[in-house]
Structure 1
Amino acid sequence: MKARKAILRTFGAAAGASALAWFAIAGGVTGVSAADTSSMKAVADEGPGYAIEDFAYPNADKILAERHITLKRGDGHILLADCGSATDLLEVWGRKNEKTCFSVTGTSGYLTLEIPAVYFIQGNSYNTQVEMSAGAEEKTFEVKKNDWTPVGESADAQGRDFMLMEIRTAK
Structure 2
Amino acid sequence: MKKSIFTLLLAAGIFTVSCGDRKTNSENEIQLEEREGPVVEGKDMIPADDSDSAQNKAEIVSAKQVVNKYFSALDRGDFTEAYEQMSRSSDRGTSSEFAEENAGIETITVSFTQDATVNTNTNGTEIELPLRYTVKTKNENTETYSGSAIVLKASGEDSDYQILKMNVTREDS
User: TM-score normalised by the shorter chain: which range applies?
Assistant: under 0.3
TM-score by length of 1: 0.28
Larger CA Rg, structure 1 vs 2: 1
Bigger strand fraction: 1
TM-score by length of 2: 0.28
